[in-house]
Structure 1
């Protein structure tokens, strides 16, 4: 996440992920399984290849003759994410480590409350990259050792993920089959113990890396490195730049949101994985899923969208539209040659946890469109009730956020000129601005340090006042040093002792239970800003 002017944080996930070679577990066919046979008369048995039910990974239980190990339960259960701090990490002070552990723990708790998987039996055992440890594979499909390694690579040392060494104890063993039609083999790496009670392994690397140094405001970046037999990521790395853990500028909430953002990428919200998402809406519990196929297509404006059922439904509901082509618009500014991005378009989904830039943490939402996307991966059962209210664009129709409509004053979410007003959540004061991601569209962006801008003027102009909620679509306002005054939605009122009128917006304030003004102090009622 790169800090931009105005407290924005830009994600560099796509650049990092593009450099990773992902190890994909192979689907086991019946003829892939060797028979149990003693080697050289001793008590060692041939090691069969590993397979698991959904979400299949290598497990310690053996499977014979194509019979897979059943999952521990047929009902999806909260995903178990185990963290592993790398030995290469910097030594942190007790305070810094405490900060990080608290932020990561909270992020994992949020993610596991949202995502569930069909758990596999046994410990998680990561795969070794056969293209690294093997010099050549047997390619004659009529032989019993088809697609097995015939000769070891003498230069093979270890498996890595984002440059970090994977411990041997986390990895499956591997064998060499010197003859194409003989079951005789020899072990070149022993099998590790694996990780019990784990559905996804997250390596935490805390260090000021070269990437951190190259961009001094980098907070964190991530990648996934391995997937199971169904394509679900099972291993990822989050690198946290340790210099961002120091000093008074540290923000717990920002760190939590950043880890969640990077985790969602590593768990499947990745352009590298879009076309491996699976359709499990018909029978999500029995594992009979079919590939979505290509889910990203260009829309009429030439920008790429994701077209999957849950995303379309979520956007139709959010924008109040019946448009069947309302796919999830992807950011075009950080897109590569394929025009794809692992982020939502900021003009359409401003404030989403998966937008290309994250603003002040009070604005960022784990929104229903992002959760719909994670559901459409086919790897997770998603608790959609955990979605936070996405205020941006609510009820604005199918064309909301397009370059052709953002400047025609048809939506109050956008602004024109360079004046000051209320941020769209009405929790902060803002200034009408644009940025590279808005591509000329202008919105009220937060003023730094809560700058107060109610200046005395004889001209008639808009002002931004505090408000506090008293009910659904009901609130009071406070003007300078006045008392709290009822401001009926849709009406105009006057404040005693002040010249001019105050218009009370209808259905813009106090509508969302999880979007409320922050307390002025520990004993004060909630307040925010309005016109």
Structure 2
């Protein structure tokens, strides 16, 4: 019955794209406590100097209710995320280094007198920061207006506060309503701001317990989520845009003389409205869709450093700034970079693959007026790099239509519809296996997101209005995307080449793959075939795989398939690979990538390309495995591949 067990197990595997959403909701003014006094005597705008940011984490007791392995993982990753931002940001600091937070007021009733904040009635007995109850010893005295006597008073004792800190981060595990939303891992926001420059000095991050996984391939996603959420609390939030300052410490948004706050509060979303020196709306003329051309309004962060870095990244000297997300509620839109233009930037609104902190995100933190930025901490964002003004000013349909392969490069978009055969490809940097996420939805997409017609060059016989990329926030533009395998609704492995745990085991390793630190993605020149007991079996997914590689000045690029070495002599060279495993006779090809693209980062100078030669010898000596055991594994493997592809197709239709 072992063969039946293998088949049943195979039914549990589903191939899906990895996508997790951010549910950051900017806090309203009523949810934020303002005017925390760090140092009454120091004029931050002129006299203070920048020092390394110090984030003090306070772990809530709810974390200790989690399994020990989850506690350890959360503590480790929070510290890693904290260390990243501490190394990336410097803050203006006073001599005093202790933060005492302000108390919340009863009914949030606040008044200002003599340049200070007072509660109109009295202080609340408890002060919260998001889901976190702030300890009394972190709080200052209660300052309030005594309505009986008409005097300004204070009561209680000031706590010792939090020493040696520039920002207090409260960390909790929460099973809140937000965590019950699909795909939510964590959420965060700031909760108190200081009085001189309005910089956030306290915030929280709530981690959804059910989203915590100790699997190695989930670690990157959890860490990037923590970096992302902490940055919302530090400054990247629609609730803070109106408080940004220029390099001289002057507000970019005009202030009321009564309370030194911005004049206007948005009547719908209840946060302070920023000026067009921070964000501006512009028109993109002649935006192309399948329904013709129409003008489109977009919003961009237009502060100086962001504008500089956006122009530099896209190689577009007339770009006004960096476009922000246009979809979703305020919490997804406006508070993240536009997914279509910044796909795997860590501060887009949904996690899809290989997240990086780019110079554009660091530039926004510089433009808050609160931080000095270490650009050496920026990571390389390949998406959109040097693609020019057409890439940012025009729709992805325009880009795909004007960059038809093979004469031109359509990257980063694609036009291959998911069908019966799962055709995989390599991501641009060859760090993972991916596939084109162009799928059919259950109904027509909104007209502004319809990009395909019968003249689009897409092999499709259905309703073109239902075709679109699987990531909504990318304006439904299709692109090559990494993916994950799930078993029993749990992430089993993903498609990154660098993780050893992603190597398929036993009969599932159809292409002699090896995943590890020295592996890259390589395309297959043609579909592979498998033989067992004189039966020819064609796999239901094909196109690329991860393989170990070596670089040398003499041999150039050498690839390893099933432990055997194959020297690449020329770009695009197709090398035939034949070998026998315990389960199959494997027969296929690998296609050599451009040697400098792979080896240059290792400091290797590739030799001159030469005419390839046939490196496969004695192929007649290979036998076809035909034991009962190998045949049963083979059958289950084929069943697995068929079911995976079928389920994957159905998942996209119904989930959409």
With structure 2 as the length reference, what TM-score do the two structures score? Answer: 0.61
Candidates 371, 385, 389, aligned match of 1:398: 389
Candidates 231, 239, 251, aligned match of 2:218: 251
CA contact (8 A) 1:103 1:253 kept: no
Corresponding residue for 2:227? 260
Corresponding residue for 1:528? none
Cα displacement (A) at 1:446: 1.7
CA contact (8 A) 1:114 1:384 kept: yes
CA contact (8 A) 1:492 1:502 kept: yes
Cα displacement (A) at 1:413: 1.6
Q: 1:288 to 1:247 in 2, by over 3 A?
A: closer
**Which string of whole-angstrom CA distances, capped at 9 and with x for unpartnered residues, describes residues 298-351 of structure 1?**
2323121111111121122222222242x1111112244x99521111111111
Corresponding residue for 1:52? none
Name the CA distance, whole Å, in 1 between partners of 2:241 and 2:298: 16
What aligned pairs does 1:1-80 form with structure 2 within 5 A after superposition? Answer: 6-14=17-25, 17=27, 21-25=31-35, 57-59=36-38, 63=40, 67-68=41-42, 74-80=48-54
Corresponding residue for 1:127? 102
**Which string of whole-angstrom CA distances, capped at 9 and with x for unpartnered residues, describes residues 243-263 of structure 1?**
333565883332221111101
Corresponding residue for 1:47? none
**Which string of whole-angstrom CA distances, capped at 9 and with x for unpartnered residues, describes residues 449-468 of structure 1?**
4487853279xx97567474
Cα displacement (A) at 1:235: 0.9
Q: 1:17 to 1:423 in 2, by over 3 A?
A: farther
Q: 1:352 to 1:145 in 2, by over 3 A?
A: closer
Cα displacement (A) at 1:369: 1.1
What aligned pairs does 1:428-443 form with structure 2 within 5 A after superposition? Answer: 428-433=432-437, 434-435=469-470, 436-443=472-479
What aligned pairs does 1:166-315 form with structure 2 within 5 A after superposition? Answer: 166-178=134-146, 185-212=152-179, 214-215=180-181, 217-229=183-195, 230-245=197-212, 248=215, 251-280=218-247, 288-291=249-252, 293-294=275-276, 295-299=278-282, 300=284, 301-315=296-310
Name the CA distance, whole Å, in 2 between partners of 1:505 and 1:157: 66
Q: 1:94 to 1:20 in 2, by over 3 A?
A: farther
Candidates 566, 570, 575, aligned match of 1:484: 566
Name the CA distance, whole Å, in 2 between partners of 1:507 and 1:276: 47
CA contact (8 A) 2:23 2:178 kept: no
Corresponding residue for 1:32? none
Name the CA distance, whole Å, in 1 between partners of 2:118 and 2:589: 82
Candidates 544, 551, 568, aligned match of 1:470: 551
CA contact (8 A) 1:10 1:358 kept: yes
Q: CA RMSD in A?
A: 3.7
SS class of match (1:332)? coil
CA contact (8 A) 2:568 2:592 kept: no
2:314 is the counterpart of 1:319:
yes
Q: Which moved more, 1:436-445 or 1:474-483?
A: 474-483
Cα displacement (A) at 1:9: 1.2
Higher radius of gyration, 1 or 2: 2
Number of matched residues? 450
CA contact (8 A) 2:70 2:213 kept: yes
SS class of match (1:255)? helix
CA contact (8 A) 1:492 1:503 kept: yes
Q: 1:404 to 1:506 in 2, by over 3 A?
A: farther
**Which string of whole-angstrom CA distances, capped at 9 and with x for unpartnered residues, describes residues 455-507 of structure 1?**
3279xx975674746389x744456775232355xx44343678989463487
Unaligned runs of 5+ in 2: 1-14, 254-274, 285-295, 404-408, 418-422, 438-468, 485-492, 496-503, 505-509, 512-523, 530-537, 579-587, 604-656
Corresponding residue for 2:126? 158
Corresponding residue for 1:420? 424
Name the CA distance, whole Å, in 2 between partners of 1:112 and 1:150: 34
Q: 1:446 to 1:252 in 2, by over 3 A?
A: closer
Candidates 40, 46, 70, aligned match of 1:96: 70
Q: 1:469 to 1:370 in 2, by over 3 A?
A: farther
CA contact (8 A) 1:126 1:194 kept: yes
Name the CA distance, whole Å, in 2 between partners of 1:411 and 1:511: 24
Unaligned runs of 5+ in 1: 26-56, 139-143, 281-286, 515-531
SS class of match (1:221)? strand
| Structure 1 or 2: more strand by fraction | 2
